[in-house]
Amino acid sequence: MYFLNYDYDCKQRIGVLNNSKNAVIPLKEFFLKEGIKELNSINVLIQTMNEENINKLEDFVDGYEGKTLPLDEVKILAPIPFPIRDIICLGLNYLDHANEITNMPGAEKNIPKFPVYFNKRAMPAIGNGDLIDSHPTLTNELDYEVELAVVIGKDGENIKKEEVEDFIFGYTIVNDISARDIQRNHTQWFKGKSLTTHCSMGPYIVHKNSMRFPVELNIETKVNGEIRQKSNTRNFIFDIPTIISDLSKGMPLLAGDIIITGTPAGVGLGFNPPRFLESGDIVECSIEKIGTLTNKVK
């Protein structure tokens, strides 16, 4: 199932795609049928829907004959515009990207032996079709990073590797937009990763039941139609069971937490000379089975 957060008739609502993936089924009717108070936030939905409800929703979608909204008549918003906490990020989690960064002049050759974690302030996240603010007075080195985002589905601590899938709600795409000069100047990544509009997310959260686990998905970025990043999530240095099991040791993960799993080679910083984003550029981040997240730089 493909969950989305959308604007229709100037109202924000949540829905799922029909099985042909060309129209939205509003969830209001399902909530009424099941006696669930109408939910307008995917965060609350994640916290509310147990496995039984998800199965009922799958049946509801399969048998749905009511009114749908054509996809081109709704404005798709970030599926989680207000993450419950900062997004947890992985750095250097694809070998080719770790090599492109650590082979740069002055960098230390250092392929991580433990996952590299940092956080990204992401309130609010932008969605498909929204503009990326280039913050021209703050940065000259605006960059893109396509990433598979994992959305946690239930609270957990000390999660065993073999139980990790139980704690996942689903998957989406995040463009971890980055101001490289700010990252460098502060010798720490938080601020350079956290300017407004620099977390683009969507277009959908694909429920884990629609994905084979562990996920092996093609992942790609195009800038103005030119392929810059191209890989597959099977090339992670640390896979999702390792990341979630390791992160949750002595540090609870909560339903709605978002973990972005790192980016492959081909970021603007990795080119010689670097190819940073400029005003007017169109960035398309795609992941197989999820979709394409497109944003223009203002």
- Judge if the upstream peptide bond of residue 214 is cis by omega within 30 degrees of 0: yes
The interface mask with Mg ion, positions 178-217, x = CB under 5 A, is ----------------------------------------
Q: Does 145 bind Mg ion (CB under 5 A)?
A: yes
Give yes or no for a contact between 274 and 181, defined as CB atoms under 8 angstroms apart.
no
Of 25 and 267, which CB lies nearer to Mg ion in the complex structure?
Answer: 267
Q: Does 176 bind Mg ion (CB under 5 A)?
A: yes
How does strand 2-8 pair with strand 199-207?
antiparallel
Question: Shortest approach of Mg ion to residue 137 CB, angstroms?
Answer: 24
Tell me which stretch binds Mg ion (CB under 5 A): 55-63, 138-146, 244-252, 268-276.
138-146
- Distances in Å between the Cα of 31 and the Cα atoms of 5, 34, 54, 151, 254 are 16, 5, 12, 22, 24
The interface mask with Mg ion, positions 237-266, x = CB under 5 A, is --------------------------x---
Q: Does 143 bind Mg ion (CB under 5 A)?
A: no
Q: Does 100 bind Mg ion (CB under 5 A)?
A: no
Query: Which residue's Cβ has the minimum distance to Mg ion?
Result: 176
How does strand 199-207 pair with strand 168-176?
antiparallel
Of 15 and 83, which CB lies nearer to Mg ion in the complex structure?
Answer: 83
Task: Give 181-187's long-range contacts (Cβ < 8 A, gap of 24+).
Answer: 181/139, 181/140, 181/141, 182/138, 182/139
Of 61 and 116, which CB lies nearer to Mg ion in the complex structure?
Answer: 116
Q: Does 284 bind Mg ion (CB under 5 A)?
A: no
Q: How many residues bind Mg ion (CB under 5 A)?
A: 3
Whole-angstrom Cα distance, residue 116 to residue 94?
11
Structure tokens at 196: 């407004």
Whole-angstrom Cα distance, residue 196 to residue 245?
31
Of 176 and 220, which CB lies nearer to Mg ion in the complex structure?
Answer: 176
Residues that bind Mg ion (CB under 5 A): 145, 176, 263
